[in-house]
């Protein structure tokens, strides 16, 4: 029975939602599980350079897995795979749609780090919302094979750390953020929560796209000469990957200035040896925040802190916290 009257809840937003015409799910790993089940995939090639959240999904689905390396350009180094499926992560939005098309058939594109890059018709493509917006669940999937998903996620009880971070400091709620990430480890495939879908209808995507692109472009202009990566400026960037020798030491110095730079894929240290490129990239690539919370002045502050990394941070008289939660 419909309720009428009483106290007023969160308003319903009616703006346009990017990726509206998609399958909307609760998390990225379950978007992968959805494809595996819908396409009845039995064998797949996965990159060594990624998080371990997919391993349990692949194991539970009984999928045989081969692992491949990537180059400094983030492109897969797979010579022959026949009809096997290939899982390609579009790291930092550095892989163009033209390149992704060139990889042929049986390709799953992971655009978790390229939310504003449009999907390729006929290519299974997934996105995750939590890496770009203040929501507790949400994944976007484009596929031509669908399965019925009856259960819908409910996220209102997990919103505390996001609402708290809006009015206070991240440190107070960081453990809740971590707990929310772990929450999805055993969650089945569900539809995106009603709350998250509503919030995604209230976002100014053009403004966010513009802010992220401008921030990335500024960092690239200032840091390109010392960055080991040759980058393009993506539309609506995820983060700026700054790859330098002894980056892990710089990360600690920036953290002391309250510029929090995550180590995105610590599981790489368990599956790669120290002489492999992926090990060094996981250790020394600094994903610098460029998201919509910040502007060019903030980017300049980050660059100034990097310039003073040689034990000279005392030259800075004011500490301006740039809190970037770990993904």
Q: Taking the domains of the chain in order of start, what are their residue ranges?
A: 23-200, 205-310
Per-residue pLDDT, 81: 84
Mean pLDDT across 306-321? 49
- Domain 205-310: assigned CATH number: 3.90.1150.10
Per-residue pLDDT, 33: 97
Res. 141: pLDDT tops 50: yes
Quote the mean pLDDT of the chain. Answer: 92
- Domain 23-200: assigned CATH number: 3.40.640
Contact 90, 117 (CB under 8 A): yes
Threshold 0.85, pTM exceeds: yes
Contact 102, 81 (CB under 8 A): no
Contacts of 86 (CB under 8 A, 6+ apart): 44, 45, 76, 78, 103, 106, 107, 108
Q: How far apart are CA 53 and CA 33, in angstroms?
A: 11
Is 304 exposed, middle or buried, given 0-12, 13-18 or 19+ CB atoms closer than 10 A?
middle
Better pLDDT: 311 or 194 = 194
With CA atoms as reference, report the closest residue to 17 among 157, 180, 200. Answer: 200
* Segment 69-112, tens digit of pLDDT: 999 999 999 987 889 999 999 999 999 999 999 999 999 999 99
Per-residue pLDDT, 279: 96
């Amino acid at each position: 029975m419909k309720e009428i009257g009483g106290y007023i809840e969160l308003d319903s937003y009616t703006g346009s939602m990017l990726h509206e015409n998609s399958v909307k799910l609760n998390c990225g790993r379950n978007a992968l599980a959805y494809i595996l089940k819908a396409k009845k995939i039995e064998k797949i090639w996965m990159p060594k350079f990624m998080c371990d959240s997919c391993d349990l999904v692949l194991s539970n689905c009984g999928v045989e897995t081969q692992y491949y390396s990537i180059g400094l350009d983030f492109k897969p180094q797979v010579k022959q795979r026949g009809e096997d499926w290939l899982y390609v992560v579009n790291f930092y939005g550095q892989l163009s749609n033209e390149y992704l098309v060139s990889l042929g058939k049986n390709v799953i594109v992971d655009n978790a780090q390229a939310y504003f890059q449009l999907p390729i018709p006929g290519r299974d493509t997934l996105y995750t919302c939590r890496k770009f917006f203040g929501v507790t669940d949400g994944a976007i999937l484009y596929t031509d094979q669908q399965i019925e998903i009856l259960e819908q996620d409910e996220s209102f009880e997990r919103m505390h750390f996001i609402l708290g971070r809006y009015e206070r400091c991240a440190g107070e709620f960081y453990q809740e953020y971590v707990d929310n990430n772990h929450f999805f480890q055993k969650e089945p495939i569900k539809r995106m929560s009603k709350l998250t879908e509503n919030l995604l209808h209230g976002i100014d995507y053009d403004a966010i796209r513009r802010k992220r692109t401008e921030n990335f472009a500024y960092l690239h202009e200032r840091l390109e000469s010392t960055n080991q990566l040759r980058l393009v400026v993506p539309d609506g960037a995820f983060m700026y990957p700054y790859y330098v020798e002894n980056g892990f030491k710089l990360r600690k110095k920036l953290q002391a200035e309250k510029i929090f730079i995550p180590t995105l894929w610590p599981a790489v240290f368990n599956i790669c040896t120290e002489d492999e490129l992926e090990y060094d990239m996981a250790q020394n690539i600094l994903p610098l925040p460029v998201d919509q919370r910040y502007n060019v002045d903030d980017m300049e502050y980050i660059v100034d802190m990097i310039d003073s990394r040689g034990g000279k941070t005392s030259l800075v008289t004011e500490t301006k916290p740039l809190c970037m939660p770990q993904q």
